[in-house]
Structure 1
Amino acid sequence: MHMQANGTKGPQILIVEDDPEIGRLLAETVNDSGMTASIVEDGHAMYALMRKQAFDLIILDVMLPGEDGISLCRRIRAEKTTPIILLTALGEEVDRIVGLEVGADDYITKPFSPREVVARIRSILRRASYGFARVNGQRPMRFEGWRIDPLRRQLHDPSNARVALTTTEFDLLLAFCRNPGRIITREELLTLTHSGLAGPIERSVDVQISRLRQKIESDPKEPMLLKTVRLGGYLFTAAVEEA
């Protein structure tokens, strides 16, 4: 099954869900909220459609026929920074953490309320700056040779190569760059990033910090830029200045 809503206005949302009833409910919820939903049933159909069309966000069921959602999420994240919400009937913490580790931006557990789905989609799209016209001018910043651009939502390393970050990773790094030399608690990080991450707060943030370290630290196991403060939170040690 491949179903696409009429009209192309608003954010384009790709739903990968093999249960027709749940797929239709998600699509109706998305379309009724001023967005446009496309539905496919598995990873093969997902990639076929993604080659033809760009999407602003993907809702990806974990339990799919063939390649599962966790594996698909990992593959998408290796190629793209498109925000991903994982959808599953499993509510155990381990599943949420695995989802975050492979690069998901958020997690919704079945059964879900349409209002919750819309709220999470809109939160992530705001954070991903859907529609640059709504973004106020924000100056790029530099730290240790790195350059972060809040407006274009881009990060370049000291060799000027662009480094791909997920929406959540970028928001975390931006929060640290705006608060250098200050200990920030996990709860503050969630507030600063407007994040609606599912699951236990501490583990969710820790997983995202670990992913961020993999991208900005010379040795992620011995981080120099992004340090853990015991019982406190995290400290960004780099000097930050406007670019």
Structure 2
Amino acid sequence: MSRVAEDVKQDTDRDGPAPLWDLGTIVAGLRESRDVAHNIWQRGPSRRAPSREALAEVLKSLTEALFPRHYGRSDFGTESIDAFVEGKLGAALDGLLEQVYRGQTFVSDGAPTERHFEGAVALTRDFAARLPEIRGRLVSDLRAAFVGDPAATSFPEILIGYPGMVAIIHHRVAHLLYNLGATMVARLIAELAHSATGIDIHPGARLGASIFIDHGTGVVIGETAIVGDRVRIY
């Protein structure tokens, strides 16, 4: 036990337990800041924000559905692979629906309504219908990385090991959601990629086909950026 800890223990034993912090005053001050002096909350009832943790699980399931033999399992037959994809896709879309709904209601005034939920369902359905197109774009990015990096030895190495590919996967998903109107969810997905890879791509940025980001640490692509086809970023 340290000398400081011994002194605290002796004081406590002699005088009885004494609070170290004036929590009541601090809590009251934070309430004043939150409710009056620095209020930033929207009017209406409390609403739940989208969850970064839940979106990370959505991205994991989506990636497994898009590339099941790389991120899922390698021992699939034709029927079992479809069953695996269906299961992962169902879980991902159910989770995404909840987060889209939260994102829509969190920034709106008033209580959530049935219209919010119906809008979230329609948006998620539109997103799901575009997933084959997203996978095609991602395969073009994968091929661009293989051609553009002489150190690359295989597609699987790039797909599961290159931070640039991770960032592109997140961006293709986030950009589609952003264009469909799920802007808060899209921003959170972009930040998941930024935290994991050091690559910061705003979901509004327009990236063409066959994009390769090599290494990528410190790369920033802003909302108004337009990147054409077959571009390498070092």
TM interval, short-chain normalised: 0.3 to 0.5
Q: Which has the larger radius of gyration?
A: 2
TM-score, with structure 2 as normaliser: 0.34
Q: Which has the higher strand share?
A: 1
TM-score, with structure 1 as normaliser: 0.33
